Amino acid sequence: MNAGQRPCRWQRGETDGDRCASIAGVGWTRYSRNSGASVEELAVEAVRAAADDAGLDVQEIDGLVTYGLCDTAYSGVVGTSLGLGELNYFSDHTAGGNVACAVVTEAAMAVATGRAKHVAVYRALNGASGIRYGGGAWSQMMATTSLFSDAEPQFLDTCGLTMPAQHFAMLARRHMIKYGTDHRDFAAVAMTCRNHAALNERAQMREPLTLDRYEASPWIADPFRVLDCCLQTDGACALIVTSDERARDLRKPPVRFRAGASSGHAARGVMWTNFAEDHSTCYAARIADRLFAEAGIGREDVDFAELYDCFTYSVLVQLEDFGFVPKGEAGAFFRDGQAALGGRLPVNTHGGLLSEGYIHGLNSVTEAVIQLRGEAGARQVEGAGFGLVCAGGAANSGSALILGAA
């Protein structure tokens, strides 16, 4: 059996970082606050753009994977709109940004096990002009889904905890009490992301952000101000996952899937409530070691990190729990400029969900692809060979990827 025919690690039972799936193309719509299009139209546009980027005929797509919280266009609808024939693989998740990396792993597994040849992973939403997260109407809708229809919202909603910012704020407060983290640490994350977004033509927020402006922004849920919170965005992005062998024959240099890991709900609770013993930690503490072991690299080999930034605090706790800095030192890492372009570990090079746009985390995966292809322009990380992408914020559930350049 030659190298191109070797079974993938899922078939061999190995975790040596052997590469068997690649991302061959990425695509986007415009990110805005009023798309003027349906979610279905956005999804179709993004998938077509990703196929075009790969140099792949749309009709060759035989797998679709997506996720959302009652706010997306599901695979059957999108497949029909694309004019696809029989799908060999499809998957629709009722889930939030915690699965933004897990769905890419799923697509890689579908390709690696021969279930499909070319899988499009996409996320589409009208998050500003359509269904907006937070508030009573959103909470009521969530309470009807299988993910949330249990006793938990009956308790939380009666306490007035109806939006993600309130839940994450409590986790952030615990970290502040335990480690002395303060608002200047959160501000440093927001300002770093905004500086990177200034170099990104797709970003919704590109104007400079100062500490004074951050401190003057309105409160949302103490300790979070509005500039601690991710954007509300209309838009979509997509990527094409295929085998290494097929990717080599397509238009762009392949970005190789090196490792993927997820952490689920071992204890009762959903995405942002956390029954862990230590509320100042997150899912990353449970998956980091096996993620790096599967990739066959160390933390020192990672050239940049796209850390899920639904809120500024989420970036800090993930940086710590993935093992890049000791607990309580992520704020200083940002304040000292080590997360900026040219620093020790550039973080959220596209501006993140705080400044580029909130496509529920999948846009962080597309940014990693652009970086590893060397196509990021003014925000390019020099010599980028490995990138970490993660999704899940400060919650007890999340997922992550390590991607590598060809």
Of 31, 89, 313, 358, the catalytic one is 358
Of 122, 133, 308, 313, the catalytic one is 308
The answer to whether residue 308 is catalytic is yes
Per-residue b/e over 53-77, b at no fewer than 16 CB within 10 Å? bbebebeebbbbbbbbbebbbbbeb
Per-residue b/e over 292-309, b at no fewer than 16 CB within 10 Å? bebbbbeeeebbbbbbbb
The answer to whether residue 179 is catalytic is no
- Residue type for position 299: R
Q: Are 145 and 76 in contact (CB under 8 A)?
A: no
| Residues 238, 44: Cα–Cα separation, whole Å | 9
Distances from the Cα of 207 to the Cα of 55, 113, 193, angstroms: 35, 46, 11
- Closest Cα partner for 394 from 310, 305, 293? 310
- Closest Cα partner for 363 from 21, 110, 31? 31
- Residue type for position 250: L
Distances from the Cα of 114 to the Cα of 88, 158, 283, angstroms: 10, 48, 30
- So which residues are the catalytic ones? 308, 358
